[in-house]
Chain A
Amino acid sequence: MKLTKTIAAAATAAVMGTGAFAQDIAVIAGSVEDAFMDKIKKGVDDATHMVEANGGSVQYLRTQNYENFGPDLVTLINQAVAQGVDGIAIPIWVPDAQIPALNAAREQGIVIMQYNSGLPVKDDISAINYFGSDEYAAGFGGGKYLAENGATHILCHIQVPGAINLTERCRGVTDGAAEAGAKVTVLETPPNLDGDVTGTAEALKAEFIGDQSIDAMVSCADFGAAAGANAVEQTGLDIMVSAFDFSPATLDRIKAGNQTMAIDQQPYLQGFLATSMLFAHLKFGTEISTDPVLTGPAIVDASNVDAVVAGAALGAR
């Protein structure tokens, strides 16, 4: 049986893992429960083959969840330092907390590579390069896409109030939409609704009904698109649903026509490039003359969804 085999494999893998102690690089990422981070991990894993072929090793560190996020990230940075790594690849999500810790690490000779998030503070940590999207540009592209496709009033949904990168996304959406003549309303749902599809769907429904001029929505979270599609189904209104990032279910929705598009930042590339290029820099002294390197935004919609599905089946999209 396939299942029993997998369980047996689970037991062995759980115990054996991929232990190696001569770390050269640490890659720090977000919650183990976040599916987005799994795609980054796929990129890191693929890059790890190249690193190990050249005698290095990669330690992939993730937080358990997003509560207490700043301190958790600093903990992981300090942990990487304690393990004696030569380089750290890390997104900047909580600048106030992370910057001092990263600067302390750099003073010990550790090279910092930034990916995924925090482009505006890149110079504050003297990262050697940045692989990720520009949150503002991604939002701008998304807002413009929706407005050009007929949206006049866009709801931008933020699932974690106060998160700087999400605020930046909605600022981008606002400006992008304004360029094509549409207006944007920002909705911040309480943090206890983060990940709660039913609660978010009903909250969005209330907004849709409360302001019937809304004809498009973009959520900063993938689950927000599931909630949005559900709210649209419930209200029967003609509202374009879209979101930043996507999951396999998003692709199902785009295919079925229940979601207009997803703004992709290609996390696979972020993980793969940040890991391999950091190692190449340490080992071979390579430099990339393009700085920063933007991996997004790429729009996934009905026109290109089939190609994305193929990549998603392999865990890279």
Chain B
Amino acid sequence: MSTQSQTAAKRSSPGALARRPETGALIGFVVVFAFFAALGGPVFMGAPGWSSWLNIAAEVGIIALPVGLLMISGEFDISVGSIVPASSMMTAMLAGHYDLPALAAICGGLAVGLAVGFVNGLLVTRTTIPSLIVTIGVMFAVMGLTLGFAVLIKGSTSVSYVPTPMAKALLGQFINNMFNVAILWWLGFAAVFFCVLHISPIGNWIFAIGGDRESARNAGIPTSRVTIGLFMASGFCAAFVGVVQVMTYQQAQVAGGQSFIFNSIMCVVIGGVLLTGGSGSILGILLGTMTFAVVNQGVFFAALDPNVGSIIVGALLLAAVLSNDTFRTLALSAAAKKT
């Protein structure tokens, strides 16, 4: 299929399964799942176990998808950690405090993400400041604005909101009482991003920008517009998770989004995206997210010390990057031999 060969062909001799970016991710997932299935027993293998890690995977996964695309194009977005609480605060504030209709509140929350993403993209493309620094700066600023306005308007850093049945059903419901509807959204987002990255011409542009921005620009690719679009996508997805959290837990707090920053990057890296840009796949990111979630949730079912989860994630991360690195060396040397 053309999708993988695009990635593979860029840097390697075509075809070889071992060199596909998601192979390592798949192996990692199978090993980790088998490990926790053995320890966690039938409960982990049943619906409760699956729903547990899928619910976690859905939230971080929605953010990991655009973050992964950004990383393929060679950029970082740290500000997602502040957009999640900012958008949930905006949604809860508009609907719970100003009594606007749910739809308006949801749009308001999502608009926060788009706006912050636009600012990120503009700063990254119009200045020479690295995106890591830009998005750290924007993260601090958005954190400050969220906290400042929450206290100013509401006098509290926690706002409650009881969603309408419609909003709850679409964004905060548990299917079969266990599976968060966010899982479906996650798969929906994955499908959209799959089309963008692997089917539409934009995908080629993203890979090209990640490979070499200067030549991409010279080849006529609208690099700035693509970059701004990607930052807006990651802002939007982070805001979406914020909205989902309000609808699910019926409250918004100014803190609590920071864990998404590194968690989303870790999912992407475990999923085989090369940090140097130019390579990666949606399937890999999905697998990486699932691996991450299985580890984080599996420890509770396996009756291990929950902190052991961090150690396993760290080890996985190292394994993932090292195997990526090996794959890439393999791929590069193979490519070099051919020419």
> Per the CB under 8 Å rule, do A and B touch in the complex?
yes
Tell whether, in the assembled complex, residue B251 and residue A247 are in contact, meaning their CB atoms are under 8 Å apart.
yes
CA distance A251 to B158 in the complex (A): 13
**Inside 8 A of B310's CB, which chain A residues have their CB?**
190, 192
Tell whether, in the assembled complex, residue B253 and residue A223 are in contact, meaning their CB atoms are under 8 Å apart.
yes
Chain B residues 105 to 160 lying within 8 A of chain A, measured CB to CB, are 147-149, 151-153, 155-160
B250 touches A (CB below 8 Å): yes
Known contacts A9-B152, A38-B157, A192-B259: does B300 contact A206 (CB below 8 Å)? yes
Tell whether, in the assembled complex, residue A248 and residue B149 are in contact, meaning their CB atoms are under 8 Å apart.
no
CA distance A226 to B151 in the complex (A): 21
Known contacts A190-B307, A202-B300: does B174 contact A233 (CB below 8 Å)? yes
Tell whether, in the assembled complex, residue A203 and residue B177 are in contact, meaning their CB atoms are under 8 Å apart.
no
Tell whether, in the assembled complex, residue B155 and residue A210 are in contact, meaning their CB atoms are under 8 Å apart.
no
Chain A residues within 8 Å of chain B by Cβ, number = 51
Q: Give B38-56 as 1s and 0s: 1 = Cβ < 8 Å from A's Cβ atoms.
A: 0000010000100111011
Known contacts A13-B152, A198-B245, A234-B178: does B157 contact A33 (CB below 8 Å)? yes
Tell whether, in the assembled complex, residue A198 and residue B59 are in contact, meaning their CB atoms are under 8 Å apart.
yes
Known contacts A34-B157, A234-B178, A252-B160: does B256 contact A209 (CB below 8 Å)? no
Q: How far apart are B272's CB and chain A's nearest CB, in angstroms? A: 24
Tell whether, in the assembled complex, residue A42 and residue B155 are in contact, meaning their CB atoms are under 8 Å apart.
yes
Tell whether, in the assembled complex, residue B52 and residue A198 are in contact, meaning their CB atoms are under 8 Å apart.
no
The answer, among B51, B148, B156, for a CB contact under 8 Å with A14, is B148
The answer, among A197, A203, A226, A248, for a CB contact under 8 Å with B306, is A203
Number of A-B contacts (CB under 8 A): 128
Tell whether, in the assembled complex, residue A35 and residue B259 are in contact, meaning their CB atoms are under 8 Å apart.
no
Tell whether, in the assembled complex, residue A10 and residue B148 are in contact, meaning their CB atoms are under 8 Å apart.
yes
Chain B residues 155 to 170 lying within 8 A of chain A, measured CB to CB, are 155-162
CA distance A230 to B250 in the complex (A): 11
A79 touches B (CB below 8 Å): no
Tell whether, in the assembled complex, residue B256 and residue A197 are in contact, meaning their CB atoms are under 8 Å apart.
yes
Chain A residues 225 to 247 lying within 8 A of chain B, measured CB to CB, are 226-227, 230, 233-236, 247
Known contacts A202-B55, A202-B297, A202-B300: does B253 contact A248 (CB below 8 Å)? no
Q: Which residues of B contact A (CB under 8 A)?
A: 43, 48, 51-53, 55-56, 59, 98, 147-149, 151-153, 155-162, 174, 177-178, 245, 248-251, 253-256, 259, 296-297, 300-301, 303, 306-307, 309-310
Q: Which 10 A-B pairs have the closest CB atoms?
A: A35-B158, A249-B251, A206-B300, A248-B160, A195-B256, A249-B160, A33-B255, A38-B156, A247-B158, A35-B157
